[in-house]
Chain A
Amino acid sequence: MTAQKAARAPRARASDTVFAALVHGFVTLFALFCLIPFWLMVINSFATEASILRNGFSLWPEDFSLYAYQFLFRNTRVMSHYGVSVAVTLAGTVMAVAITSMFAYGITSKKLKRGSALSFMTYFTMLFGSGIVGFYLLVVNWLHLKDNIFAMILPYLMNPFYVFVLVSFFRTLPDELAEAALIDGANDARIFFQIILPLSKPAITTVTLFFALQYWNDYYLALLFVDDYKLYPLQMMIRTLISNMNAQQFIQGSRTNYAIQVPTYGIQLATVCVTIGPILLLYPFLQKHFVKGLTIGAVKG
């Protein structure tokens, strides 16, 4: 913050004015580069199919309509895919946050003799992985989770990176807190639930959002373990929509022969928009906590 005070020092030089202009120009351009794809997706999802076919995706479509959304919700299975995504994200996030924060607090605890061994055991998984074969055999052949919703939940329940984000946060809490509570007769459970957890709200919120984002955006687990399209999450629905398009293009070389009634582009755009919708709606909240979490010291992992 003090840096900003210095920045407001009164003497303005010509070179500083030029520099400021360059800086503003650069940031604004880069921000536009980041923003334009979002704008194109959202605004064109409200365009009529005819206007997209005539002009392609444009910054401001000629005609607007809600037809794509009506079609999407009436004639496709989008709601059931939405249900899968919501269920996976909710169940996964709740369990993952519980397991990860419990484990992180456990290995931080001074009472534990083998805490550092556990912490190395966790760290080692970041250095040396099992590769896809072991992972695939585990889920499909040993746990028998093929085409089971848990195949999209269980593998992400704990992530060493978030364990260490929480560990580094728990380490910042003063030991005196737990000691004082111990003297007052609180047991470990009370200390954890009534003292540590409430104090760790910012860190836990950040980790919760990281997990939720990971579950919501993931298609890898569904790609590996789900063949039943009824169990597809939204991300896989988008994949199917694109590859259908791709195939059509590949075979016909053009879009000529599909029936005009089906707003192909409109549906794709509307699906993409309902997929990123929750993220865009929660964005101010998400962004604030991610920035906070990254600043906590997540860099070092």
Chain B
Amino acid sequence: MGSVVKRAKSNFFIYLLILPGLLFLIIFSYIPMLAHVIAFKSFKPALGILGSPWVGLDNFRFFFRGSNWLRVTFNTLFLNALFIGFGLSLAVAVSLALNEIRRRLYKKLMQSIVFMPYFVSWMVVSFVIFAMFNASEGLMNRFLAGLGREAVSWYASPQYWPAILTFTSVWKSAGYNSVIILAAITGISGEFYESAEIDGATRFQQLRLITLPLIKPTVIILVLLAIGKIFFGDFGMIYGIVGNNTLLMPTTDVIDTFSYRSLLQNNNFGMSSAVAFYQSVMGLITILAFNAVIRRVEKGAELF
């Protein structure tokens, strides 16, 4: 007992440092997890979580029987797959190309420009998209009119939005990812290139045979990290751009926006909880599965 007290005394300052953060974790991360039980209850705010009656799997039955389940799951996975596929391939291309630029000032300028969209909020992005695609004044329709084509009412045509959202995602995040990949490229020893140069390899051969294989681990980690989050739609982006426009929902409604609407617009706590629980569990399963995959593919790169 004595030693415990002594240790507590000597570690007092360290405990003090940890305390606010620990409180934060408990209050903002762990206590709200208790609300997952609402997924199994018919929640009435007046009765509280404990007082509300259990309903077993009714909320889940309701969610999985409806057409929403398939649509939001498909949209979440499909959109994220598009974002990861196009976003990362472009990021790799941009970082490889940036690395080939020899004039340092130009390279720096280009890097600064492609990184810029990362710093802009989704609301501003949403405004730009509105300026591009709104029916009467939008740049796209003016452009189409210039070509003598008929105007498209973009905000009523869901089929275009996976492409528009992918463009947006690439615009916003390719620069960010290319900075990470470029850091990996900078870490490659110059000796490889020097000996390749002596052997008469062209720049393109050097890129293909030295740079690409050596940045593969970094790219694999980025891909796997993104896949680990594939069940989580980017709420800030999608709600920011699409909002409550029901016409676009067939292709843009993701798990996160659906669960948000169930809660705040329909006040359906049970449904929203069931959706969030389903998402959290699927998310956990994906990340555990992919961690096992990483452990196989890139030993040492696994997350835990």
Which residues of A line the B interface, CB within 8 A?
A: 1-9, 11, 13, 15-16, 19-20, 23-24, 26-28, 30-31, 33-35, 37-38, 40-41, 53, 56-57, 98-100, 102-103, 105-107, 109, 111-112, 118, 121-123, 125, 127-138, 141-142, 154-155, 157-158, 163, 187-189, 192, 213, 216-220, 223-224, 235-236, 238-239, 241-243, 245-246, 249, 253-255, 265, 268, 272, 275-276, 279, 283-284, 286-287, 290-291, 294-295, 299-301
A38-B116 in contact (CB<8A) = yes
Inter-chain contacts of A299 with B (CB < 8 A): 180, 218, 221-222, 225
Select the stretch in B67-75, B79-87, B96-104, B157-165 that faces chain A.
B96-104
A238-B127 in contact (CB<8A) = yes
- Kindly identify, within residues 243 to 261 of chain B, every residue whose CB is under 8 Å from any CB belonging to chain A: 243, 245, 256, 259-260
For the complex of A and B, the 10 pairs showing the least CB-CB separation, nearest first, are A131-B276, A2-B190, A103-B21, A134-B35, A134-B32, A130-B32, A217-B121, A6-B193, A106-B18, A188-B13
Give the docked Cα–Cα distance between A223 and B97 (Å).
Answer: 40
A31-B35 in contact (CB<8A) = no
Total inter-chain residue pairs, C-beta < 8 Å? 302
**Can you report 14 residue pairs joining A to B where beta carbons are below 8 Å apart?**
A2-B190, A3-B190, A26-B93, A128-B33, A128-B284, A131-B275, A134-B34, A134-B276, A154-B28, A163-B21, A253-B135, A276-B120, A279-B119, A299-B218
Tell me which of B22, B45, B139, B301 has the highest count of chain A C-beta atoms within 10 A of its own C-beta: B22
Checking B10, B33, B256 against A130 with a beta-carbon cut-off of 8 angstroms, the contacting residue is: B33
Give the docked Cα–Cα distance between A37 and B172 (Å).
Answer: 11
Given A130-B29, A137-B49, 6 other A-B residues pairs in contact with their CB atoms under 8 A: A26-B93, A112-B18, A130-B33, A265-B137, A275-B124, A300-B303
B31-A138 in contact (CB<8A) = yes
Give the docked Cα–Cα distance between A204 and B46 (Å).
Answer: 44
Inter-chain contacts of A9 with B (CB < 8 A): 194, 197
B126-A6 in contact (CB<8A) = no
Q: A3-B99, A102-B21, A220-B236 are in contact. Are A27 and B126 (CB under 8 A)?
A: no
B266 contacts partner chain A, Cβ-Cβ < 8 Å: no
B133, chain A: closest CB distance, angstroms = 11
Chain B minimum-CB-distance residue to A295: B183
Checking A41, A189, A294 against B128 with a beta-carbon cut-off of 8 angstroms, the contacting residue is: A41
Which residues of B line the A interface, CB within 8 A?
A: 10-11, 13-15, 17-18, 20-22, 24-25, 27-36, 38, 45, 49, 90, 93-94, 97-102, 104, 110-124, 126-128, 130-131, 134-139, 142, 155, 171, 174-176, 179-180, 183, 185-186, 188-191, 193-194, 197, 202-204, 218, 221-222, 225, 235-236, 239-240, 243, 245, 256, 259-260, 263-264, 269, 272-273, 275-277, 279-280, 283-284, 287, 301, 303-304
A158-B25 in contact (CB<8A) = yes
B36-A106 in contact (CB<8A) = no
Inter-chain contacts of B137 with A (CB < 8 A): 53, 56, 255, 265
Chain A minimum-CB-distance residue to B45: A141
B272-A33 in contact (CB<8A) = no
Question: Main SS of chain A's interface residues?
Answer: helix
Tell me which of B11, B110, B131, B235 has the highest count of chain A C-beta atoms within 10 A of its own C-beta: B131
Inter-chain contacts of B118 with A (CB < 8 A): 290
Inter-chain contacts of A107 with B (CB < 8 A): 18
Chain B minimum-CB-distance residue to A137: B35
B119-A286 in contact (CB<8A) = yes
Give the docked Cα–Cα distance between A127 and B115 (Å).
Answer: 28
A139, chain B: closest CB distance, angstroms = 9
Inter-chain contacts of B276 with A (CB < 8 A): 129-134
Checking A137, A236, A294 against B180 with a beta-carbon cut-off of 8 angstroms, the contacting residue is: A294
B97-A157 in contact (CB<8A) = no
Inter-chain contacts of A125 with B (CB < 8 A): 25, 29-30
Give the docked Cα–Cα distance between A30 and B101 (Å).
Answer: 14
A19-B32 in contact (CB<8A) = no
B304-A283 in contact (CB<8A) = no
Chain B minimum-CB-distance residue to A297: B183
Inter-chain contacts of B100 with A (CB < 8 A): 7, 19-20, 23
Tell me which of B21, B120, B239 has the highest count of chain A C-beta atoms within 10 A of its own C-beta: B21
B89, chain A: closest CB distance, angstroms = 12
Chain A minimum-CB-distance residue to B21: A103
Give the docked Cα–Cα distance between A41 and B113 (Å).
Answer: 15
A239-B123 in contact (CB<8A) = yes
Checking A98, A154, A236, A279 against B120 with a beta-carbon cut-off of 8 angstroms, the contacting residue is: A279
Inter-chain contacts of B189 with A (CB < 8 A): 2
Q: A35-B116, A286-B119 are in contact. Are A131 and B36 (CB under 8 A)?
A: yes
Inter-chain contacts of A135 with B (CB < 8 A): 28, 32
Give the docked Cα–Cα distance between A295 and B176 (Å).
Answer: 11
Inter-chain contacts of A245 with B (CB < 8 A): 130, 134
Inter-chain contacts of A1 with B (CB < 8 A): 186, 190
Chain A minimum-CB-distance residue to B184: A299
Inter-chain contacts of B27 with A (CB < 8 A): 138
Give the docked Cα–Cα distance between A286 and B137 (Å).
Answer: 34
Q: A38-B116, A40-B131, A122-B25 are in contact. Are A28 and B20 (CB under 8 A)?
A: no
A97, chain B: closest CB distance, angstroms = 12
Inter-chain contacts of A291 with B (CB < 8 A): 111, 115, 179, 183
Inter-chain contacts of A40 with B (CB < 8 A): 128, 131
A132-B260 in contact (CB<8A) = yes
B228, chain A: closest CB distance, angstroms = 9
